[in-house]
Chain A
Amino acid sequence: MALAGTAAFWTADEFADWRQAIAAEAAQTYTPRYFTPDEWRFLEAATEQLFPEDETGPGAKALGVVGFIDRQMDTSYGHGGLWFMSGPFQSGPANLGYQLPYAPREIYRIGIAGADQYCRDHYGHAFADLDHPTQIEALTAFEKLPIQFGETLAAGIFFEQLRTNTMEGAFSDPIHGGNRHLGGWVMLGFPGARADFMDWVDQYGPAYPLGSVSISGETA
């Protein structure tokens, strides 16, 4: 039973079933549902640059961020169900917001192909095969330079989509498939689903002493 991140998950009022499903899933190697092997390689490399493992804590790979994003592609959000997607589609100044006809899953499909093509054109290899300094250079270009992927997708839109979903994967409850072993929350010092600070409100200064816990009951 693969429920995490599916449409059934988002509409389920009873969470017991998918809690068990996620526990069972977590023990297995994740099989991508949406992304192709080449897309997966790009995402593993790019998300690790956005959120690298270092002395502060785990990186995107250790936290299962790409699996999280893959699951999200299968939700209403991934299909654009949370956005107003009626035409006509017309471009305008950036401060008036997103105006493309693409749902998140399409932004990824077009964006990853465009990013890899950009890297092959400029550096001779797909993104995942570049050395780390070159990967950082490419991501910085996507973030800041007026690069187009295909006809209409600005690299900056793709970059922000990827950055946003990477942070969500690092910091959402592990029930969504990321933040593996609550590594993101432990690093941040967020206690998770404890959600009761009646006795801690007016203890001024010290760090909160109790560790992170997931909605599922998983502890760090």
Chain B
Amino acid sequence: MTTKNADAIVVGAGWAGSILAKELTEAGLKVVMLERGPDRATAVEGAYPDSIDELRGAIRHRLFQDLSRTTVTIRNKIGQTALPYRQLSAFLPGEGVGGAGLHWSGVHFRAAPDDLALRSNVIARYGQKFIPEGMNLQDYGVTYDELEPFFDKAEKVFGTSGEAYKINGKVVGNGNVFAPSRSDDFPLPPLKDVYTANLFRKAASDAGYHPYSLPAANASRQYTNPYGAQMGPCNFCGYCSGYDCYMYSKASPNVNILPVLRKDPNFTLITRAHVMRVDLDSTKTRATGVTYLDLDSNKEVTITADLVVLGAFQFHNVHLMLLSGIGKPYDAQKNEGVVGRNFVYQTITTSRAWLPENQFTNQFIGTGGGGVAIDDFNSMNFDHGPHGFVGGSPVWVNQAGVKPIAASTIGGGKDAPRWGAGYKKALVNTYRHAMAIDAHGSNMAYRDVFLDLDPTWKNTYGQPLLRMTFDWQDNDIRMNRYVVSQIEPIMKALGATKYELGMLEPGKPFDTRLYQTTHLGGGAVMGDDPNTSAINRYLQSWDVPNVFVIGSNAFPQGMGYNPTGMVAALAYWSAHHIRTTYLKSPGPLVRV
């Protein structure tokens, strides 16, 4: 056992970890960042043309979590035996420097203000009885106005392209009419529409909806961020999700923060360091540091520090809290405890339109964050009263570049053969002339959907795996089906020769074999009440106040938007309060 010392330890080298490490070194702290995967740099993993290899990249998981060492177990309900998630499919966490922030798509939203106080808003508008039995609907404990400066900061660091609607209360452009006012414009203008996005823009408008350009952390022009990190203009190559962007156009910790951080003498990055636990003192109310396994020497190393930041992927943060004894584990039977509570996902279904054969959709052209969306059925932008469900979905064309192996899996539509005679013809027709429209929606939290430690399976380091108990619930299935039904007028306006609406099916359990999204959330949520949240509004552990837990684990319910923009804003928000208040007088930032 080796022992080292630092002022602060940051676990995980993704967006959350990199932002905290940058902020804490700026505050003069000696920071050690621990990453269990390898070091990664765009000059290596992003080098063209080897980086744009679909088999090696998205299919054989070049940048994804190494499941052979550790995974999760999954079951649909209490009483069922959870089984290991042995093959990456439904969700794809990252591994290595940059984390999932290296292989993400780039869709970069601010949170909808109504979503941050969803419980209060639903009760105010529809009454307490509108919330179904068993749904743990909660507020974040932080408002949009409080977070606005940090959304703004994150967009400037990420080089986000988009079109504003309102700045300082004044309408300035053709952006999302449902978006809240901003203190400043996007740092870059919106990306061009690809053909299918442009068709959707017109058709959605004809259908009476309000289309807008997706905010994208894929640079529409050359850009230098406030740290001095540089991005190149996106060329719509289509290799965003699953890949390291060879153009340096997609924001990543590796491109936008780490080149500066790596030069800081106060910063140390240790890779291939698998954190086993946060070490607590005998009172269990103070962290003394962390212990990690050096994957090269296979020896445990302990680092002592006054401050520990968990910035790993959502469920890894929850796993580390449970393994370390930080906070009271959630007990679904008793409905007590908070760590593992309010585990959430998102509801994502794809609908498809086929265009006449003289219209080529060139689906291989695209960018991960680009496209056109409508928010008419997201958040609280429509009247939920007649429908009796909570939540909503943006709907969009987000043509991120469809590669051939992925296309072969999509195939030729619901009625087309999966192989043999007729398969290829339908596949080719679909690849050349079809377009996808997604409903990317919310997922509420429920008493019997949660995370805990598995009683049977262990990772290769001998620790119990994290167990997910998750299934789709009636509220979210009905929300998805309603929103998708509202795509029909768009399909008609598109001039589609044929279309298929993709919806969640009642009674069909969550299927771990089908890719849905990596947007997992909750499990260690933020809030004002220690009985229903694991961390306070500053993302500080209620129980161990020198531990901060940064990530989508903080979301009390799954929002319709992609999570990264919110994660980055929360990271800057938390860092700001650590720097301005906590470091001057370490202790709980909120007293109950």
State whether the Cβ of A29 lies closer than 8 Å to any Cβ in chain B: no
State whether the Cβ of B434 lies closer than 8 Å to any Cβ in chain A: no
Chain B 457-496 against A: per-residue CB contact (8 Å), 1 yes, 0 no? 1111000000000000000000000000000000000000
B404 with A98: CB separation less than 8 A: no
- Which residues does chain A contribute within 8 Å of B224, judged by CB atoms? none
User: Within the complex, which residue of B87, B237, B409 is in contact with A83, where a contact is CB–CB below 8 Å?
Assistant: B87
B405 with A85: CB separation less than 8 A: no
Query: Which stretch in B29-37, B47-55, B204-212 binds the other chain?
Result: B47-55
State whether the Cβ of A170 lies closer than 8 Å to any Cβ in chain B: yes
- List A109-168 residues whose CB lies under 8 Å from chain B: 136, 139, 143, 163, 166-168
State whether the Cβ of A82 lies closer than 8 Å to any Cβ in chain B: yes
Residue in A closest to B508 when the chains form the complex, CB atoms: A95
Chain B 61-78 against A: per-residue CB contact (8 Å), 1 yes, 0 no? 100001110110011100
Interface size on A (CB < 8 Å)?
64
A171 with B237: CB separation less than 8 A: no
Residue in B closest to A140 when the chains form the complex, CB atoms: B420
- By DSSP majority rule, is chain B's interface helix, strand, loop, or mixed? loop
Chain A 171-196 against B: per-residue CB contact (8 Å), 1 yes, 0 no? 11101100000001101111101011
State whether the Cβ of A6 lies closer than 8 Å to any Cβ in chain B: no
Q: What CA separation (Å) do A83 and B55 show in the bound complex? A: 16
Q: A83-B86, A172-B53, A215-B49 are in contact. List 14 more A-B contacts (CB 8 A).
A: A10-B56, A49-B419, A51-B419, A57-B424, A92-B81, A170-B408, A172-B55, A176-B55, A189-B428, A190-B403, A195-B235, A196-B237, A208-B360, A208-B362
B358 with A188: CB separation less than 8 A: no
- Which residues does chain A contribute within 8 Å of B360, judged by CB atoms? 189, 205-208
Q: Can you list the 6 inter-chain pairs with the closest CB atoms, starting with the nearest?
A: A171-B404, A195-B237, A167-B408, A172-B55, A207-B360, A197-B236
Residue in A closest to B59 when the chains form the complex, CB atoms: A168
In the complex, how many angstroms separate the beta carbon of B223 from the nearest chain A beta carbon? 16
State whether the Cβ of B270 lies closer than 8 Å to any Cβ in chain A: no
User: Within the complex, which residue of B404, B418, B458, B510 is in contact with A185, where a contact is CB–CB below 8 Å?
Assistant: B404
B420 with A52: CB separation less than 8 A: yes
User: Within the complex, which residue of B54, B87, B235, B509 is in contact with A95, where a contact is CB–CB below 8 Å?
Assistant: B509
B235 with A190: CB separation less than 8 A: no
Q: What CA separation (Å) do A115 and B526 show in the bound complex? A: 54
State whether the Cβ of B577 lies closer than 8 Å to any Cβ in chain A: no
User: Within the complex, which residue of B50, B199, B419, B457 is in contact with A163, where a contact is CB–CB below 8 Å?
Assistant: B419
Q: What CA separation (Å) do A171 and B83 show in the bound complex? A: 32
Once A54-B424, A200-B365 are accepted as A-B contacts, the answer to whether A215 and B512 lie under 8 Å apart by CB is no
Chain A 7-36 against B: per-residue CB contact (8 Å), 1 yes, 0 no? 000100101000000000000000000000
Q: What CA separation (Å) do A107 and B525 show in the bound complex? A: 42
- Which residues does chain A contribute within 8 Å of B403, judged by CB atoms? 190
Q: What CA separation (Å) do A125 and B84 show in the bound complex? A: 38
B53 with A175: CB separation less than 8 A: yes
- Which residues does chain A contribute within 8 Å of B61, judged by CB atoms? 82
User: Within the complex, which residue of B86, B193, B407, B511 is in contact with A84, where a contact is CB–CB below 8 Å?
Assistant: B86
- Which residues does chain B contribute within 8 Å of A185, judged by CB atoms? 404
In the complex, how many angstroms separate the beta carbon of B284 from the nearest chain A beta carbon? 30
Q: What CA separation (Å) do A77 and B198 show in the bound complex? A: 40
B424 with A56: CB separation less than 8 A: yes
A196 with B235: CB separation less than 8 A: yes
Interface-centre pick from B80, B195, B509 (highest chain A CB count, 10 A): B195
State whether the Cβ of A50 lies closer than 8 Å to any Cβ in chain B: yes
State whether the Cβ of A88 lies closer than 8 Å to any Cβ in chain B: yes
- Which residues does chain A contribute within 8 Å of B50, judged by CB atoms? 15, 215
- 21 residue pairs of the A-B complex, CB under 8 angstroms, read A10-B56, A52-B420, A83-B68, A84-B70, A85-B86, A92-B83, A95-B76, A96-B75, A97-B74, A97-B83, A167-B405, A167-B408, A173-B53, A187-B428, A188-B427, A189-B432, A193-B49, A197-B238, A201-B365, A207-B362, A208-B365
State whether the Cβ of B421 lies closer than 8 Å to any Cβ in chain A: yes
State whether the Cβ of B168 lies closer than 8 Å to any Cβ in chain A: no
State whether the Cβ of B354 lies closer than 8 Å to any Cβ in chain A: no
- Which residues does chain A contribute within 8 Å of B54, judged by CB atoms? 171-173
Chain B 359-395 against A: per-residue CB contact (8 Å), 1 yes, 0 no? 1101011000000000000000000000000000000
In the complex, how many angstroms separate the beta carbon of B43 from the nearest chain A beta carbon? 11
B457 with A86: CB separation less than 8 A: yes
- Which residues does chain A contribute within 8 Å of B420, judged by CB atoms? 49-50, 52, 136, 139
Interface-centre pick from B49, B50, B246 (highest chain A CB count, 10 A): B49
In the complex, how many angstroms separate the beta carbon of B36 from the nearest chain A beta carbon? 15
State whether the Cβ of A93 lies closer than 8 Å to any Cβ in chain B: yes
Q: What CA separation (Å) do A195 and B235 show in the bound complex? A: 8
In the complex, how many angstroms separate the beta carbon of A173 from the nearest chain B beta carbon? 6
Q: What CA separation (Å) do A163 and B511 show in the bound complex? A: 19
State whether the Cβ of A1 lies closer than 8 Å to any Cβ in chain B: no
In the complex, how many angstroms separate the beta carbon of B198 from the nearest chain A beta carbon? 6
- Which residues does chain A contribute within 8 Å of B48, judged by CB atoms? 195
User: Within the complex, which residue of B87, B364, B427, B456 is in contact with A97, where a contact is CB–CB below 8 Å?
Assistant: B87
Chain B 403-431 against A: per-residue CB contact (8 Å), 1 yes, 0 no? 11101110000000011110111011001
